[in-house]
Amino acid sequence: MIKAAKKPLYDGCQSSILSVATRLINLKCEYNIPHQAIDGFASLLKDICPDDNKMTESFYATKKVLASLEMPHQRIDVFPKGCMLFWKGAAHLVKCQVCDAQ
């Protein structure tokens, strides 16, 4: 893990393997991007970087880079307009208390 944080993506690059993997996974989660799309993005990044790059080629390989972080996460559903979460005391609700959406 520490190697990945210190190792640049390619010679002369300011970004590390770890930082690029983290950003890819973050984009996947933030925009709910399918695994296959992340495979495509990772492959594209590998292709456009110089030949000696250390970019992963798939979602699985990218996820493996981050596996040693062991960061816990929990997926929480959101009401359609995003004004309220299905979480804790609101987990059972079927109607948003903010905008009345179902």
Domains: count for the chain = 2
Residues 24 and 65 reside in one and the same domain: yes
pLDDT score for 4:
67
Nearest Cα to Cα of residue 86 among 77, 94, 95: 77
Nearest Cα to Cα of residue 21 among 33, 4, 6, 36: 4
Residue whose tokens read 């996974």: 25
pLDDT score for 1:
57
Residues 14 and 54 reside in one and the same domain: yes
Residues 99 and 66 reside in one and the same domain: no
d(CA 57, CA 80): 34
pLDDT score for 50:
93
Quote the crossing angle between the two packed helices 17-31 and 59-66, to the nearest 10°.
110
**DSSP conformational letter for 95:** S
79 pLDDT more than 70: yes
Average pLDDT over residues 56-71: 84
Q: Tell me which of 6 and 32 has the higher pLDDT.
A: 32
Q: Residue 37 sits in which domain range? A: 2-71
